[in-house]
Amino acid sequence: MECKTVIFSLSDYLDSQHGLVEGIEKRNIEDHLASCPSCRHLQLELMEIKTAARELPLRTPPRALWTRIVNEIEVEKVAVAAIGTVEPDPPGLWSWLTSLRYTFSLPQIAGVAALAIILVSITVINFRGNTNEMDFSRLQSALIREEMTKKAEIDRKMAAIEERKASWDPAFRADFDRQLNRIEDSIKQCRKNLEASPNDLNQVQRMLDLYEEKRQLLEDVERLKW
Amino acid sequence: MTVKEINNAKSDYDLTQASANGDMTAFELLYERHHRRVYSLCLRMVANATEAEDLSQEVFVQLFRKVGSFRGESAFTTWLHRLTVNHVLMHFRKKRVKLENTTEEGEIGEMQDIIQAVTDRPRFIDRIALDKAIADLPPGYRTVFVLHDVEGFEHEEVAALLGVSVGTSKSQLHKARLRLRDLINKGKPQRGS
């Protein structure tokens, strides 16, 4: 066996505990290594690299990294909370009303103020118990909007992937299916949790994340496979 | 936060569940336990401290978003490890980092150089020198070497992660090891100097 051939197979030989090089080829390489100091030295050097690679020390990032992470998470939380806020009405009638000039007497102003106080009190009493429900319904609408957008994109990608899936490497296909099933199971679980506790904002956020994870997985596969 | 507090804390799985409910103390404990591993993996794959910090930050923010989807079916370290690798590979795809190409002629020339160069084998590879040599590898070789030899992925897993064949993964690993050996030997002080 020539040095060139041995060098070419040396990594496979080093990893041969995984059965990469077996039988006659393995014996030929060993015979060559026993008689060729250069190749034997190379084998030992590569073996040292392989061994040392598994023992490399862990490195420590700067302390500020945690602060950066917390800050980003806080910013995201604020953004998520803002999903449910209602867009302000465009200027129109109100601008027109405020642009007008009015002249009222003191009794007229006092009367209007009293009426306003009564109306506000009634409104507060009637709606105090419903505030959370209103916020939640806004969040639910936001979730449904987001779900519809992501689902449409996911369905498009899935259709394209299904057409090509049969030609993939079986191991890759199995890994893809496993990942997809895991996400879909999580979506089902999340939906159940939401039915049980419809006001759970974490579940709403998790549902959106799962759709995003699914979309991301399909996008990765699209990029990798064709 | 003391080491004792961390050691006395709950399992990773318990911490993930608490984190999923917005408990930042639990998430901080997860960070304390795993941040060095995540950062080291990012650093070895990108060979740039600033990029590694940015990527680690993104991984932990992503972890916070996704932590509720961890079902405890595998070890948390394995799950986080895969999340990190996928995130770094996504970063590479955005940067269009590709596996290295070597022509057959190039390979033969490289092997002849290796046969010529083997003179005095080092008895011990300095880990700092190895870390530095890994950073000096071309990105494609570095990715395969870090995934296989440093992080312990099998060739089948590396191939699936990178979207290449198992043969390509083996070939890239072999070339990476040869290049590392070359880089380490070049960095050593010459005999008699």
Q: Which residues of B touch A41 (CB under 8 A)?
A: 118, 121
Same domain for B14 and B75, yes or no, is yes
Give whole-number Cα distances, B101 to B98, B110, B176, B190, in Å: 9, 13, 12, 31
Same domain for B124 and B55, yes or no, is no
Residue A21 belongs to some domain of the structure: yes
Range with the poorest average pLDDT among A17-21, A50-54, B13-17, B21-25:
A17-21
Residue A60 belongs to some domain of the structure: no
Q: Which of B51, B66, B95 is the last residue of a domain?
A: B95
Say whether the ipTM exceeds 0.90. Answer: no
* Mean pLDDT within A24-28: 80
The answer to whether B122 faces chain A, any CB pair under 8 Å, is: yes
Same domain for B116 and B52, yes or no, is no
Query: Residue B136: which CATH number?
Result: 1.10.10.10
Residue B193 belongs to some domain of the structure: no
| CA distance, residue A129 to nearest chain B CA (Å) | 25
Number of domains composing chain B: 2
Number of domains composing chain A: 2
Q: Which domain range does residue A157 map to?
A: 131-225
The string of pLDDT tens digits covering residues B11-55 is: 899 999 999 998 999 999 999 999 999 999 999 999 999 999 999
Task: Give the distance between the most distant pair of CA atoms in chain B.
Answer: 64
Four-CA torsion B156, B160, B162, B164, nearest 10 degrees:
70
- Residue in B closest to A75 by C-alpha: B61
Task: Report d(CA B150, CA B81) in Å as an integer.
Answer: 12
Nearest to B160 among A72, A172, A183 (CB): A172
Residue B9 belongs to some domain of the structure: yes
Q: Which residues of A touch B154 (CB under 8 A)?
A: 18
Of residues B111, B108, B106, B101, the one with CA closest to residue B164: B101
What's the pLDDT at B112? Answer: 45
Task: Report d(CA A183, CA A179) in Å as an integer.
Answer: 6
Same domain for B76 and B146, yes or no, is no
Q: Which residues of B touch A70 (CB under 8 A)?
A: 24
Same domain for B91 and B120, yes or no, is no
Nearest to B181 among A46, A61, A182 (CB): A46
Q: Which domain range does residue B65 map to?
A: 3-95
The answer to whether B91 faces chain A, any CB pair under 8 Å, is: no
Residue B60 belongs to some domain of the structure: yes
The answer to whether A188 faces chain B, any CB pair under 8 Å, is: no
- Residue in A closest to B32 by C-alpha: A66
Give whole-number Cα distances, B172 to B33, B107, B147, B168, in Å: 32, 11, 12, 6
Same domain for B12 and B75, yes or no, is yes
Same domain for B141 and B83, yes or no, is no
Global pTM? 0.58
Same domain for B84 and B116, yes or no, is no
